[in-house]
Amino acid sequence: MRQIFLDTETTGLSADNGDRIIEIGCVEMVNRKLTGNNRHIYVNPGRDSHEEALKVHGITSEFLRDKPKFEEIADDLLAYLTGADVVIHNAPFDLGFLDMEFGKLGHPKVCEIVASVTDTLVMAKELYPGKRNSLDALCDRLEVDNSGRTLHGALLDAELLADVFINLTRGQNVLLMDDSSANEASGNGAPLLDLRAFTLPVLTANEQELSAHEAVLKQIDKDSKGKTVWRVLEPVAAG
């Protein structure tokens, strides 16, 4: 599995109102291992950043004056992203800008050339309802070192996002192993164990465990202000 963790910095918040991309950071991971095949690109947007945006990323128009225009880097970026599983924090923001930039050049939208797009903000909201789920908040919660992040930077943020994603999905690599991976793993000649030959015991929860489980559900429900799926579906199930 080839994944690209992507982040952008921009002149402002609205691609529709003429704001442009000024920095792109991409980190490649294959089978949950960093490859070092990254991309870090500064882009001359042909306009100044808004004052509030400048406070966030600190990238001045003077610094960007000799950097390439987006049309000069578009083909390479398009080829780099094609076929990858792209991971972005708050994907609609970055995709809106990338689609606008690619669209100006007659290129397809990102979703049309990549295998999939995963939004870690959506993932985090599902895992931590009612909590702060900014990249900084997730770094603190998941013990990812973000001490070097005094200003937003696309490559640094993409690197942090990769660490955050690994922590959010820890253990899932085992669940994603396919038959071919299993066969490769048994290449030493050891026979694969067929679990269908066994009758596995079913362990039921005792009253104390059921009570503790219900207490956790109630706390999650409280944190999400009654928006948990099991509470929403209860009236439907009852009907």
d(C-alpha 72, C-alpha 53), whole Å: 24
- Give the pLDDT confidence score for residue 207 in this predicted structure: 87
25: left (phi over 0), alpha (psi -120 to 50) or beta: beta
Helix (H) or strand (E) holding 21: strand 21-30
Closest CA relative to residue 12, chosen from 83, 115, 93: 93
pLDDT digits (tens, 9 = 90+) for 57-87: 999 999 999 999 999 999 999 999 999 999 9
CATH H-level superfamily of 2-175: Ribonuclease H-like superfamily/Ribonuclease H (3.30.420.10)
Task: Find the DSSP H helices in the chain.
Answer: 51-57, 61-64, 70-81, 91-104, 110-113, 120-127, 135-142, 154-168, 172-175, 179-185, 207-223, 229-238
- Give the pLDDT confidence score for residue 173 in this predicted structure: 44
Res 94 pLDDT > 90: yes
- Give the pLDDT confidence score for residue 29 in this predicted structure: 96
- Give the pLDDT confidence score for residue 178 in this predicted structure: 43
| CATH 3.30.420.10 intervals, the chain | 2-175
Query: What value does the mean pLDDT of the chain take?
Result: 86
d(C-alpha 29, C-alpha 3), whole Å: 5
Task: Give long-range contacts, CB 8 A cutoff, 24+ apart: 138-145.
Answer: 138/164, 138/168, 139/163, 139/164, 142/167, 142/168, 143/167
CA atoms within 13 A on the CB side of 32: 13
d(C-alpha 82, C-alpha 78), whole Å: 6
Q: Is the distance from CB of 43 to CB of 68 less than 8 angstroms?
A: yes
> Is 152 a known active-site residue?
yes
- Give the pLDDT confidence score for residue 26 in this predicted structure: 97
Tell me the mean pLDDT in the region 140-167. 89
Res 154 pLDDT > 80: yes
- Give the pLDDT confidence score for residue 175 in this predicted structure: 35
Q: Which amino acid is at 236?
A: V
- Give the pLDDT confidence score for residue 176 in this predicted structure: 40
- Give the pLDDT confidence score for residue 5 in this predicted structure: 98
pLDDT digits (tens, 9 = 90+) for 164-223: 999 999 855 433 444 444 444 444 555 555 656 666 677 788 888 888 888 888 888 777
Tell me the mean pLDDT in the region 82-111. 97
Per annotation, catalytic residue among 89, 107, 152, 213 = 152
